[in-house]
Amino acid sequence: MSNHQGKLEKLISELCPNGVEFKELGEIVKIRHGKSYKELGAGNIPVYGSGGIMTHVDSYSYDKPTVLIPRKGTITNLFYIETPFWNIDTIYYTEINIDKIVPKFFYHYMKTVDLEALNTGSGRPSLTMQILNRINIPLPPLEIQKEIVNILDKFAELETELETELETRKKQYGYYRDELLTFEGVERKPLGLVADIGTGSSNTNEGLEEGRFPFFVRSPIIRYKNSFEFDETAIITSGDGAGVGKIFHFVEGKYALHQRAYRIHITNRYLLPKFFFYCMKSTFKKYILGNAVNSSVRSVRKPMLDNYPVPIPPIEEQERAVAILDKFDALVNDISIGLPAELAARRKQYECYRNKLLTFKEYEN
């Protein structure tokens, strides 16, 4: 990496010591709308919306290097593509003047732009062509642009390697957890007999970015409140929405709870709360799907929780399983240690280098 940086510094001192030219985006890039794919046949060409790939078709909108910029929805979700694709009307594609700017350089620079500040939507986030066309883009010599791309791509490769390893570890963890929590011939009791189960009384709009107590909603993201409803050890799960069977939190102490999220406080002394937490993460989704009238469960009713069968092996086995799974869980989920911490550090390093490398003094005549 240092060799690349030394080469870059030498190029800047030789080719643009007094700064670089800036142009408005519309002068170097043409933004193009997307359109519906409904009339197209099935194929291997990816169809992009603002959330990513939606399906595959047999035709393409464009087949040259481009940056896709969302028009509506997740407006910070930029994509760099070099192969044929189709885009729908929620995301723009760009025709890039390669005599002026390297497409990948344009992508990296656009990642530094605060697109949320350019949002014109009153409800759903939106970006207009007119506003995007006015973004100022630096245009150092192409040789410098290519060198910056080389440096930033190296960082991106390291990040991708960590992401791949983390995904592999998560699959291993899930498999090992399921194996470890498979019990034959042990006592099982309905959850309603070994736990106090209920919901909260708070609404989503009461959540704060910072506060004295965690506020659990129907999301993996924990919000905060300055008041609490419960003071206990509990497992939290979503009662409805997209998180049904997927979202679980383990809490010890004071917390607030959404009115459509469930709290499960274990009351049986022969069942460790943390052991039950891992059991629920392993088997609850399969259980509710098996007891639903259709395959798209959108809500959990209390009787479903009351009747959920809970294995109760000897305490020693529960303690052993918890000790092993705590280590696995920390490795793949704890943002302060393990792979998530390394990945977060790598992303921060990449963003720091990217912002530094893409900050230029504007040339003045």
Q: Where are the domains of the chain?
A: 23-138, 187-312
Query: Which alpha helices (DSSP H) does the chain contain, by range?
Result: 2-15, 25-28, 103-110, 129-133, 142-180, 191-194, 273-290, 302-306, 315-333, 338-357
Asked whether the domain spanning 187-312 has the same topology as the one spanning 23-138, the reply is yes
Cα dihedral sign for 43, 45, 49, 55? positive
- The whole-number pLDDT of residue 164 equals 78
Pick the CATH number of 23-138 from 1.10.3720.10, 2.30.40.10, 3.40.50.720, 3.90.220.20: 3.90.220.20
pLDDT exceeds 90 at position 62: yes
pLDDT exceeds 70 at position 187: yes
In which band, very low, low, confident or very high, does the pLDDT at 292 lie, cut at 50, 70 and 90?
Answer: low
The arithmetic mean of pLDDT across residues 160-187, rounded, is 79
Residue 157 phi/psi, 5° resolution?
Answer: -65, -45
Residue 291 phi/psi, 5° resolution?
Answer: -110, 15
Please tell me the pTM assigned to this model: 0.59
Please give the single-letter amino acid code of residue 323: A
- The whole-number pLDDT of residue 350 equals 76
Q: Span 187-312: which CATH code? A: 3.90.220.20
**Measured CA angle at 107 (ends 103, 110), to 5 deg:** 135
How far apart, in whole angstroms, are the C-alpha atoms of residue 221 and residue 329? Answer: 17
- The whole-number pLDDT of residue 5 equals 58
- The predicted-structure confidence for 245-277, as pLDDT tens digits, reads as follows 888 899 999 999 999 999 999 999 999 999 999
How far does the chain reach from its first CA to its final CA, in angstroms? 33
Contacts of 350 (CB under 8 A, 6+ apart): 152, 155, 156, 159
- The whole-number pLDDT of residue 252 equals 96
In which band, very low, low, confident or very high, does the pLDDT at 364 lie, cut at 50, 70 and 90?
Answer: low
Pick the more confident residue, 365 or 358. Answer: 358
Please, what is the average pLDDT of the chain?
A: 86
- The predicted-structure confidence for 117-171, as pLDDT tens digits, reads as follows 998 877 788 999 999 999 999 998 898 889 889 888 888 787 777 777 777 777 7
- The whole-number pLDDT of residue 312 equals 94
- The whole-number pLDDT of residue 310 equals 94
The arithmetic mean of pLDDT across residues 186-207, rounded, is 94
How far apart, in whole angstroms, are the C-alpha atoms of residue 251 and residue 268? Answer: 17
Residue 104 burial (CB < 10 Å; 0-12/13-18/19+)? Answer: buried
- The whole-number pLDDT of residue 26 equals 95
Percent of the chain scoring above 70 in pLDDT:
89
- The predicted-structure confidence for 293-307, as pLDDT tens digits, reads as follows 455 567 888 999 999
- The whole-number pLDDT of residue 9 equals 65
The arithmetic mean of pLDDT across residues 279-286, rounded, is 89
pLDDT exceeds 70 at position 1: no
pLDDT exceeds 80 at position 324: yes
In which band, very low, low, confident or very high, does the pLDDT at 338 lie, cut at 50, 70 and 90?
Answer: low
The arithmetic mean of pLDDT across residues 176-188, rounded, is 84
The arithmetic mean of pLDDT across residues 10-14, rounded, is 63
pLDDT exceeds 90 at position 12: no
- The whole-number pLDDT of residue 306 equals 94
